């Protein structure tokens, strides 16, 4: 049977996203970012390109957009540095590439793909990953490139809150936008191949060296042509402990769950441990799911007629 159905879903992070705190202008900027990512990915899929290329292209667009916590807009560590994580997985071969703790790579997702395709490894970190980037002509930038005033201000707020302002009578209310965020994409191409990609700056004020779920295959990112492709966002420690992305796949394969039920159930497992967030997923038939247990998730998907649906809040 020839398959022609294509699917693409992207996210730009889940958390407490309050309508009352969002200006119309800012909301438009976020929506435009998600749309730009969908455009980049869907253009590839519609001309017969690979899911892997589509998810990389979509994530790259979001990494270059300062509104999202990945690449250019990455949050700061407690040391005032930026340490980025990313992963990509090919559902056809279950090949995967991941990087963590990179500080000078303009597009960590491009490096993750190079790890997958140009090395015998799956996961490279820190200076070794950057050396590998250099050898493979992947763009490195000065760390100043990652400076954004909003993220810097958020670091000061989170530090102040963590140093006592947040305990007892809470002096500072820190929004999730100040704390974290992540970007991701999942796709099904016309040949029936699935792929997933995730990229993040992690969490604001994180200890240098901390790695979240995003680059951990099976936690924040997973793809298998037999089941589904998944990209997560949320409290990384809990997503790792619940192996959320792989859990979605297992529930489909071993328990016969629908994509939607599998996605919701996997997310509930990390919530039970104490973590909130969301995920995007697509299965081998092109069904999609975008569950989240926070008040919002920047998200969007391609519809069959070629148009995009973009949403932020729980209620539309």
- As annotated, the active-site residues are 182
Question: Of 51 and 297, which has the nearer Cβ to ligand ASP?
Answer: 297
Contact partners, residue 271, CB within 8 Å, separation at least 6: 238, 293
Kindly list the distances between the CA atom of residue 199 and the CA atoms of 10, 17, 174, 277, 281, in Å, as whole numbers in the listed order.
12, 20, 23, 15, 16
Which of 77, 82, 107, 214 touches ligand ASP (CB under 6 A)?
Answer: 214
Find the shortest distance in angstroms from Cβ 61 to ligand ASP.
18
Q: Which stretch binds ligand ASP (CB under 6 A): 40-48, 144-152, 161-169, 199-207?
A: 199-207
Tell me whether residue 131 or residue 153 sits nearer to ligand ASP (CB atom): 153
Q: Does 213 bind ligand ASP (CB under 6 A)?
A: yes
Report the alpha-carbon distance of residue 199 to residue 71 in Å, rounded: 8
Does position 200 interact with ligand ASP (CB under 6 A)? The reply is yes
- The least distance separating ligand ASP from the CB of residue 166, rounded to whole angstroms, comes to 18
Interatomic CA distance for residues 102 and 85, integer angstroms: 7
- Closest distance of CB 254 from ligand ASP, Å: 25
Among residues 257 and 292, whose Cβ is nearest to ligand ASP? 292
> Does 204 engage in binding with ligand ASP (CB under 6 A)?
no
B/e letters for 162-177, b = 16+ CB within 10 Å, e = fewer, are eeebbeeeeeeebebb
- Rounded to a whole number of angstroms, the minimum distance from the CB of residue 220 to ligand ASP is 6
Candidate residues 41, 66, 108, 236; the one interacting with ligand ASP per rule CB under 6 A: 236
Q: Tell me the number of residues near ligand ASP by CB under 6 A.
A: 14
Here's the x/- map for ligand ASP, 2-41, by CB under 6 A: it reads as -----------x----------------------------
> What is the CA 310 to chain-centroid distance, rounded?
16
Neighbours of 71 (CB within 10 A): 30
Span near ligand ASP by CB under 6 A; candidates 2-10, 155-163, 232-240, 295-303: 232-240
- Work out whether 181 is an interface residue with ligand ASP (CB under 6 A): yes
Beta carbon of residue 202, minimum distance to ligand ASP (angstroms, whole number): 4
Cβ contacts of 275 within 8 Å, gap of 6 or more:
234, 235, 236, 237, 238, 239, 241, 242
By CB under 6 A, which span of 95-103, 141-149, 179-187, 293-301 interacts with ligand ASP?
179-187
Of 37-45, 151-159, 213-221, 250-258, which segment contacts ligand ASP by CB under 6 A?
A: 213-221
> Both tokens of residue 306?
């070629």
Residues near ligand ASP (CB under 6 A) are: 13, 180-182, 200, 202-203, 212-214, 220, 233-234, 236
């Amino acid at each position: 049977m020839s398959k022609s159905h294509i699917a693409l879903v992207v996210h730009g992070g889940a958390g407490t996203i309050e309508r009352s705190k969002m200006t119309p202008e800012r909301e438009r900027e976020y929506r435009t970012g998600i749309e730009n990512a969908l455009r980049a990915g869907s253009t590839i899929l519609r001309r017969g390109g690979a899911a892997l290329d589509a998810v990389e292209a979509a994530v790259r667009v979001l990494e270059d957009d300062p509104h999202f916590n990945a690449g250019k807009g990455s949050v700061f560590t407690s040391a005032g540095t930026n340490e980025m994580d990313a992963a990509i997985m090919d559902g056809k071969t279950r090949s995967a590439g991941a990087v963590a703790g990179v500080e000078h790579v303009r597009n960590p997702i491009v490096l993750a793909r190079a790890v997958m395709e140009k090395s015998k490894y799956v996961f490279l970190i820190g200076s070794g990953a950057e050396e590998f980037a250099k050898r493979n002509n992947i763009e490195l930038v000065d760390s100043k490139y990652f400076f954004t005033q909003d993220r810097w201000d958020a670091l000061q707020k989170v530090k102040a809150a963590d140093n006592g302002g947040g305990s007892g009578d809470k002096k500072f209310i820190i929004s999730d936008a100040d704390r974290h965020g992540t970007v991701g994409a999942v796709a099904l191409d016309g040949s029936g191949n699935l792929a997933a990609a995730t990229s993040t700056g992690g969490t604001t004020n994180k200890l240098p060296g901390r790695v979240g779920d995003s680059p951990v295959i099976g936690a924040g990112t997973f793809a298998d042509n037999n089941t589904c492709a998944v990209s997560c966002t949320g409290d990384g420690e809990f997503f790792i402990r619940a192996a959320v992305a792989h859990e979605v796949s297992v529930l489909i394969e071993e328990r016969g769950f629908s994509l939607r039920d599998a996605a919701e159930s996997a997310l509930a497992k990390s919530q039970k441990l104490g973590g909130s967030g969301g995920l995007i997923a697509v299965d081998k038939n092109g069904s999609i799911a975008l569950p989240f247990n926070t008040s919002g998730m920047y998200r969007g998907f391609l519809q069959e007629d070629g148009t995009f649906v973009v949403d932020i809040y729980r209620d539309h």
